[in-house]
Structure 1
Amino acid sequence: MLLPLRAIAHQPWLKLVLAYLAGASTTLAFAPYGLWPIYLVSMAFALSQSQPLSPKLTFYYWLSFGFGCFSVGISWVHVSMDTFGGLPLAASIGLMALLALYLALYPALAGYLLAKLTPQSHYLRNLLLFPALWMLTEWSRGWVLTGFPWLWAGYSQTSGPLSPLASVIGALGLSYLVALLAGALALLFSAHKTSLAKRGAPLFIIVLVACSASYMTKVLSPITPTGKQVNVTLVQGNIAQSMKWQPEALWPTMLKYMDLSRPEFANTDIFIWPEAAIPAPEDMVSDFLDNANQVANFNNSAIITGIISRQQQQFYNSLIVLGNHQAPMQSSPDYQANGINEFRKHHLLPIGEFVPFESLLRPLAPFFNLPMSSFARGDYQQPNLNALGHQVAPAICYEIAFPEQLRANVTNDTELLLTVSNDAWFGRSNGPLQHMEIAQMRAIELGRPLVRGTNNGVTAVVNVDGEITASLPQFETGVLHASIPLMTGTTLFSRWGQWPILLFSWGVLGYVMIRRWTVR
């Protein structure tokens, strides 16, 4: 998207370059860097620099900022297209850039509406309208065209001082707070004619209230230990992505997971094998599954494994439970290959797990013919998996980025959150580390410990404060054993979800629009 010549005359390219650099710097606020203040400073800088501009120029300014955020922050997307999709490097980078440009439209829309609806009061603009618009556009990015809620501003606080508030307002609510703080910071350094003390007062008050609320949220948390624990072993097979779907690698892969698990049966309640650890349809490996089921039963253990399940002519990216003979619930008997005690992935990854406009796109390039890219979709809400009587709420890979979906599957009986993944698609990039950070936020929001089992990292255990308490090195074969304390209680986010902050932001936008129309 090119800046019109008339706009160039009034808006130097340098300003757009600085906007891009400010956006690009926000990558440092996320994993693996975790320098969360950078997001606040970069956003405040962009907000202060864009305020004198017309709505059209403001759109281009925030488009440049957003393009910086995503072209650097999700640059890892091109790895799967280049390495495994059969596309030339230039083409994979080009497609990644197009995705980044699309995602940049959301902050650009926020900036445009901010300029279009600008109230006369700088305080109303920075402290009320801007955070509402930013949060609403991030929310929109999380569901339009199936959604891509990566790099929400709130995730910069996963290890920051405001993270406990996620148990009340969620990651999206933290995005609102980050934008609010950035608006107050921009106000402090603005040039309008009020005293420094008056401009700085909102920032001081917001910081004081936010930090106090964060501290009190942690102190008064309804999440308390039950006094019980579950012994979990996560197995990281480190199977090369180039070999994963080769027929000759099937039995060596399955035997590797069983061999790695066998020494841990004596002290393990639940084994976790990652997404598609068994890379074949369930009915094709029934002998192996029956044997693994008997081994798990003999050792009073359960194995939760990723597998491809099939119903009639439809395939699902699934999790099944082997063993489980001690489960007290009649609805979850010993393993049966009939869909009982099974979770089927609902939120599929575009291109990777389903191809939109399949008949048109598949003939174009090998990229659209990745292995297992024609999955059917499971239900949005499914029963928890039952492993030895423990209720486990799962999310497969990309699903962990959708807080409302996981929230819909957590019940009062849920004891453990589980996410499995295969991030080998993205090599040694930041993608798997950002994915891990997103999973940490789900543990805070829902007040339950989380385990994450992967093929080659990051395999980890997360407590209810979102802290990684144990993990395996990436790109190594390994086994991680942990005794996880179980929790009880319900967070406010579990009850309300994103709706309070969404309704408040829509209300703010409606108020400003009505006020603007009536002033005219």
Structure 2
Amino acid sequence: MAKRLWPPGAAVISGVLLALCFPPFGIGMLVWVAMMPLLVALWTGGSDRRRGWFGFRTGFLAGAAFWLINLKWITEVSGMGMVTVALYLALYFAFFGAFAAGVGNPWRPRRSGREGRDALAEAGRSLGYAALCALWWCGLEWTRGWMLTGFGWNGMGVAFHETLVLAQAAELVGATGLAFLPMFMAAVVVQVARRLHGEARRGKRLVHWDFAAAATLLAVAFLFGVFRLQGWKPEEVVPLRVLAVQLNIPQEASRVLWSLEEVHGGYEDETLRALNELEEANVMRMEEELEEGEGALEIEMPDWVLWPESALKEWLLFTGDGLQVTGPANRLTLERVLGAGSFTLLMGLNEIEAVLDGDIAVPVEGGDSYNSLLALPPGAERFLSYRKQHLVMFGETIPYQDQLPILRKFYEMSAGVEFGGGFSTGSGDEPLRIPHPAAPDGQVAVIPSICFEDTVPRLLRKYVHTGGQLIVNVTNDGWFKDSEAAAQHFANARFRSIELRRPMVRCSNTGVTAVVGANGSVYDPLTGSRRVLEDESGNHLTRGWLFATAYVPVDGPVTLYARGGDWLSAGGFLLGLGWWLTARWRRR
């Protein structure tokens, strides 16, 4: 009985250990040992018959344990939905288990009497199988990122979100490729441990070249990270001062619990209060400088003001000939805020297609509607607009709802609210170009993203060009209240800055409002201050504003990841699939 139960138990332990690497637990160091129990179970458990099925169900248990813990925040919207998503995502663990237990198993078939004879050959075999399993894992994470529109959330490499020295390799292989290192190390350590056990029984010690090679790879990754974390010269960047406002508005699923007056008044009050406090601080510094007789004072006021996703309640109507019209409440709020200074306002707002009926813009019945990021530079009469391209399934769109109305009913039954209607999908690959007098060419190019789009690297990388660029994300994680969803979202988002070597500015309604450097750090490289909106206790779920500086590269590099995407992970998937098919063909 114990022989049958220990593989499932080991699988569950691996799933739990891996879940502890992510918020709210954040014990990232466990990523180095998390997969060891699962690998031992896959490589030694079960019988020689039906290895694939044994590995599939064992891997599935590990995946279920991981995702049921990792995604418990979805229960804030739908408990049934959380279980469904978790069990679907567990299938990727299952396919890893089937591979590792079968064709990726270094100990099958058994090689009696040969172990320990040739240390170098044994090391080569160990490294080969470790790399094969690690590449297959990376390939499955890559597949998960696009299959059924994709959910690349909390890949193993995201465990390095606070270990930035090892996260820097994401510019080469992406966040999915970072998973190679901990999986490879775990596979090598498990094989070396087994050989050490055998050597202890025989009283003979050998050199373990595979462990030395794995340790060398880890050292190379560490040294690369140290090199990439080195600072930059002031002439290589353009400082961009941003003011991001977060109201922490409560909601039930998609339903905002504040009235229009409360929402609009909140953004007006918080923004104007921030501008007034910054102006008062400038006056105080000016008086101090005059008393001390020192050099010229630099006035610190925002170049940009940011509001989060779907900030204001009224929609922006647009016509085919370029006319933009919004409601009176929106216009009043914009007039009050824009009159308080000279800055570019960036905010999330919903757009809807309209036609002119005389002098009045009227929404088109059945027309397109978009979840948009809008920018209004000083003196501009029209909004620059980015329309969201990666829609959240069952949040912003329900696929095939016209053909299968039961899908809509399923959502409404599980979420407890009516589905408010789906958005249309945006298009394009050109960044938003916003004037900025300090930039060499007079503008900064924005890589736009809305909501979970900053966890979709294949979307953001298509906007990368040479020159001054930064990522802007407006989001609203209020659907999931005070759960760990926002912290996990931010942990994933930080890797876009490393992959593309572009800083990021995030503004959330309920979530994490922050400025991230091109190396993934939230600390200002000049002042050392932490650029995250938090209350006195360090909680990011708070109302307030963040005034911080983003340092935009004058000539941002086009990284290997920006050019080639998930080349390592995609290659790993193809290699693993080819290995699997070849092994099956040979058995015939």
Q: TM-score, normalised by structure 2?
A: 0.76
Deviation at residue 374 of structure 1 after TM alignment: 0.9
1:402 aligns with 2:468: no
> What does residue 547 of structure 2 align with?
481
Q: Counterpart of 1:395 in 2: which secondary structure?
A: strand
Deviation at residue 78 of structure 1 after TM alignment: 1.1
Cα gap change, 1:215 to 1:120, in 2 (>3 Å): closer
1:240 to 243, 246, 250: 250
**Mapping 1:151-190, distance limit 5 Å:** 151-160=154-163, 161-190=165-194
Distance 1:119 1:255 in 2: 62
Distance 2:390 2:227 in 1: 35
Cα gap change, 1:427 to 1:243, in 2 (>3 Å): closer
> What does residue 40 of structure 1 align with?
32
Distance 2:85 2:399 in 1: 15
**Mapping 1:24-39, distance limit 5 Å:** 24-39=16-31
Q: Counterpart of 1:268 in 2: which secondary structure?
A: coil
1:23 aligns with 2:51: no
Distance 2:199 2:311 in 1: 62
Deviation at residue 155 of structure 1 after TM alignment: 0.5
1:361 aligns with 2:407: yes
Cα gap change, 1:481 to 1:254, in 2 (>3 Å): same
1:62 aligns with 2:128: no
Q: Deviations over 1:28-78 (max 9, x none)?
A: 112343322312212022101211232211111111011111011111111
Letter in 2 for 1:386: I
Letter in 1 for 2:156: A
Cα gap change, 1:511 to 1:61, in 2 (>3 Å): closer
1:109 to 59, 83, 95: 95
Deviation at residue 460 of structure 1 after TM alignment: 1.2
**Mapping 1:96-495, distance limit 5 Å:** 96-118=82-104, 123=126, 126-160=129-163, 161-190=165-194, 195=199, 200-219=208-227, 224=232, 226-242=236-252, 245=255, 249-265=259-275, 267-283=301-317, 285-291=326-332, 295-296=337-338, 299-311=341-353, 312=364, 313-325=367-379, 334-336=380-382, 341-358=384-401, 359-364=405-410, 365-366=412-413, 367=415, 370=418, 372-379=420-427, 381-386=429-434, 388=436, 389-469=443-523, 470-473=531-534, 474-487=540-553, 488-490=555-557, 491-495=559-563
Cα gap change, 1:139 to 1:154, in 2 (>3 Å): same
8 A contact 1:276–1:306 mirrored in 2: yes
Cα gap change, 1:246 to 1:176, in 2 (>3 Å): closer
Q: Deviations over 1:268-305 (max 9, x none)?
A: 11011011111331147444544555553772201101
Distance 1:404 1:108 in 2: 25
- The worse-fitting range, judged by mean Cα deviation, of 173-182 and 62-71 is 173-182
8 A contact 1:164–1:465 mirrored in 2: yes
8 A contact 2:264–2:333 mirrored in 1: no
Distance 2:451 2:215 in 1: 35
Q: Deviations over 1:239-263 (max 9, x none)?
A: 1214985697113312211221124
Q: Counterpart of 1:362 in 2: which secondary structure?
A: helix
Cα gap change, 1:274 to 1:176, in 2 (>3 Å): same
Q: Deviations over 1:123-181 (max 9, x none)?
A: 16632221121111111111111111112111011222411111111101101222212
Distance 1:247 1:220 in 2: 45
8 A contact 1:235–1:453 mirrored in 2: yes
Q: Counterpart of 1:435 in 2: which secondary structure?
A: helix
Distance 1:242 1:60 in 2: 36
8 A contact 1:443–1:462 mirrored in 2: yes
- The worse-fitting range, judged by mean Cα deviation, of 294-303 and 130-139 is 294-303
Q: Deviations over 1:92-116 (max 9, x none)?
A: 2x43222211111111111112333
Deviation at residue 394 of structure 1 after TM alignment: 1.5
- The worse-fitting range, judged by mean Cα deviation, of 115-124 and 203-212 is 115-124
Letter in 1 for 2:384: N
> What does residue 95 of structure 1 align with?
81
Q: Deviations over 1:196-241 (max 9, x none)?
A: 8758532332232233234235426899452420110010011121
Letter in 2 for 1:477: R
Distance 2:222 2:212 in 1: 15
Which structure has the highest helix share of the two? 1
Q: Counterpart of 2:390 in 1: which secondary structure?
A: coil
Distance 2:135 2:252 in 1: 45
- The structure whose Rg is larger is 2
> What does residue 329 of structure 1 align with?
none
1:497 aligns with 2:565: yes
8 A contact 1:273–1:304 mirrored in 2: yes
- The worse-fitting range, judged by mean Cα deviation, of 94-103 and 396-405 is 94-103
8 A contact 2:56–2:94 mirrored in 1: yes
| Count of residues paired in the alignment | 490
Structure 1 segments of 4+ aligned residues over 6 angstroms from their partners: none
Deviation at residue 418 of structure 1 after TM alignment: 1.3
Q: Deviations over 1:422-455 (max 9, x none)?
A: 1111122221111010111111111111111111
**Considering only aligned residues, what root-mean-square deviation do their CA atoms show, in Å?**
2.9
Q: Deviations over 1:352-405 (max 9, x none)?
A: 111123222223434385554411111163432525432211211111111111
Distance 1:509 1:234 in 2: 46
Cα gap change, 1:373 to 1:179, in 2 (>3 Å): farther
8 A contact 2:505–2:550 mirrored in 1: no
Q: Deviations over 1:399-426 (max 9, x none)?
A: 1111111111222234221112111111
8 A contact 2:167–2:225 mirrored in 1: no
Q: TM-score, normalised by structure 1?
A: 0.86
Cα gap change, 1:518 to 1:150, in 2 (>3 Å): same
8 A contact 1:381–1:409 mirrored in 2: yes
Distance 2:148 2:271 in 1: 40
Cα gap change, 1:132 to 1:36, in 2 (>3 Å): same
Letter in 2 for 1:167: E
Letter in 2 for 1:413: G
Cα gap change, 1:504 to 1:264, in 2 (>3 Å): same
